[in-house]
Amino acid sequence: MEHVPTGIDGLDKMLNDGLPTGRCILVCGGPGSGKTILSMQFLRHGAIQCNESGLYVSLDEDIGQLKEEMAGFGWDLEKLEEKGKLAIVDASPIRHIPKEVKVGDLWVGKRNFSSLSLIEIVKKNVEKINAKRIVIDPITALTLQYPDISERRTAILDLFEALSNLGTTNLITTELRSVTLERKIRAEEFLAHGVIVLHVFMSDKEIVRGIQIEKMRGIAHDDQIRPYKITEKGIEVFSQEKSLIATPITSTLQV
């Protein structure tokens, strides 16, 4: 299986050279864990080092604020946009559409329209810049519209299948709702080809961070929790060190 380097050396070592090409990988983490930073490093490395254009789709954060935050790492995203190496799209309006939307002669429910709209936004922009890497950040804004587990699974599966059919390598972020290692597994984690978890805890009044590859279909990988830091240059993973987070993980299915 071919690999796509993330540009984060320690993480690529844990993955034995990078993410599996053409797959949908879920990045889970709480607020401030670095999900967006990791995702943008992935896109930026592809654009600069691998000559692979990338698409970033925001379902939550304001695009202007995003660019300002990333500039703090010395990343000029607008320059990459001008070169056609990066497209940043604000898809947050799909959260505010009315209960029903008219498409041609048909009225479509909000949930179905939201899912279809997101897929169409992605396809349109992938074709525009010939993107090879995609980030959707975060998928939580979409999944919260589906309180029914079967509807949620269908919407997520439709999105993942659409992304896989594009032949792109995809990172989809989602928010953890627990600050402990004992947490509930959600539908999107079962449906994704891979799951990377960013753990963040307070220990003796200090922040402790650990990254874990919970699953990655098709490739051998390091499944231990390894320490990582958010530095002035982005995320740095220490793949040869043991994390201070050593408690066994217990997971249950969330319905």
Which pLDDT tens digit goes with each residue over 113-123?
A: 467 778 888 99
pLDDT at position 255: 40
Contact status, residue 171 vs residue 215, Cβ threshold 8 Å: no
Q: Which domain holds residue 47?
A: 3-253
Burial class (CB in 10 A: 0-12, 13-18, 19+), 89: middle
Question: Given this model, what pLDDT does residue 107 score?
Answer: 37
Higher pLDDT, 249 or 220: 220
Q: Which of 235, 40, 2 is nearest to 133 (CA)?
A: 40
Contacts with 108 (C-beta within 8 Å, 6 or more apart), sequence order: 100, 101, 102, 116
Phi-psi region of 234 (alpha: psi -120 to 50; beta: other; left: phi over 0): left
CA 32 and chain centroid, separation = 14
ω into residue 138 within 30 of 0, thus cis? yes
Q: Dihedral through CA 212, CA 215, CA 219, CA 223, nearest 10?
A: 40
Distance CA 164, CA 160 (A): 6
Is 226:10 a contact under the CB 8 Å cutoff?
Answer: yes
pLDDT exceeds 60 at position 98:
no
Q: Residue 104 — left, alpha, or beta (φ > 0 → left; ψ -120 to 50 → alpha)?
A: left
CB < 8 Å & 24+ apart, contacts of 216-221? 216/15, 216/19, 216/20, 216/25, 217/20, 217/23, 217/193, 218/1, 218/20, 218/23, 218/193, 219/1, 219/3, 219/15, 219/16, 219/20, 220/16, 221/14, 221/15, 221/16
Sign of the Cα pseudo-torsion (104, 106, 110, 116, in order): negative
Confidence check: pLDDT of 159 > 70: yes
Q: So what's the pLDDT on residue 163?
A: 95
Tell me, what amino acid is at 166? L
CATH number at residue 145: 3.40.50.300
Using one digit for the tens of pLDDT, what is the confidence trace for 19-68? 999 999 999 998 899 999 999 999 999 999 999 999 999 988 889 999 99
The mean pLDDT of 74-84, rounded to a whole number, is 95
Region 5-27: mean pLDDT is 96
Average pLDDT over residues 191-214: 89
pLDDT, tens digit, 9 for 90 and up, residues 162-185: 999 999 999 999 987 655 555 566
Taking the C-alpha atoms of residue 65 and residue 198, their distance in angstroms, rounded to an integer, is: 22
pLDDT tops 70 at residue 189: yes
Residue 102, pLDDT > 60, answer: no
Domain count, the chain: 1
